[in-house]
Amino acid sequence: MIRNIKHLKYTLKVSESALYDVINNIDDYYYRKEEIKYSADGTPKLRNGFYKVRVLYPSTGLLKVVQSKILVRILQKLPSRSYVHGSTKGRSNITNAKSHQGNKYFFTTDISGFFPYISHKMVYGMFLSNGFTNETASILTKLTTYKGQLPQGAPTSPMVANLVMIKTGDKIAKLAATNNLTFTSYMDDITLSSGKCFKEKIPLIIDLLNSNGYKIAHSKTRYRTKFPVVTGVVVKNNYLDLPIAYKDSVNDSSKSKAQADGLRAYIDLVLRS
């Protein structure tokens, strides 16, 4: 565990003065970038005739180097959970979906504005809960948050989001275990499933998320039994599949050969899982 600033700078192999120079000039180390959002079939998402975009704040220069070290030397060494599949070594959206194979009833939801919602206070609390001192937790929070929130596009953000979410995830996991439900999370995607109907438990799940400050995207909240889609993958009883529109997108003439080959490789990976 990082005990003090001396230990922190040794771990990151960066001088104390360099760390504070980055912190005191943090605006110089981020830039704004807009990224078009795409549907599962690869087509751009539209709203009122305009492309839907995701606002990113990628880090750059020394901050990006420092964040990459924080990710590998600090964040990845902190305890995670078995239900976490996003940004976790050896796991993916496919392993997330496969965890629910064999079940019949599925509840899926998406946390709205997941990254921007996670505040510097939540990140600071996460570091404290993992045994960091006030001093080191404060410095690490300043190095991994921007404008009071978690910046989407920084190398540390997905792992920090996972670690912050554990506090709420453990509560959902306890509810799931009590009711014989399978629970997984894939970043902002929450999935619970069972062999038996658990529709009456959904208000409890939603209330739990809301009471912990998370807002769900109602347009992405579903309870279903037929062809459930979990993190982009169709979960059948004995195998995994992909939506027809996604498989058909391989033949889209606008796709380059490299893009089409990539889609075929992914489809093959899902079907063999």
pLDDT in tens, 42-68: 667 777 776 778 889 999 999 999 999
pLDDT in tens, 21-31: 999 999 999 99
Task: Give the residue with greater pLDDT, 32 vs 50.
Answer: 32
For residues 151-156, average pLDDT: 96
pLDDT in tens, 97-125: 999 999 999 999 999 989 988 999 999 99
Ramachandran region of residue 48, left (φ > 0), alpha (ψ -120 to 50) or beta? left
Task: Give the residue with greater pLDDT, 35 vs 126.
Answer: 126
In the chain, what percentage of residues exceed pLDDT 90?
A: 80
Measure the CA dihedral 258/68/13/129, to 10°.
Answer: -160
* Distance separating the N- and C-terminal Cα atoms of the chain: 37
Entry pTM: 0.89
Confidence (pLDDT) at 42 = 63
For residues 124-129, average pLDDT: 96
Residue 40 has pLDDT above 90, yes or no: no
For residues 85-94, average pLDDT: 94
pLDDT in tens, 189-247: 999 999 999 999 999 999 999 999 899 999 899 999 988 999 999 999 899 999 998 89
Mean pLDDT, rounded, of the chain:
93
Confidence (pLDDT) at 76 = 95
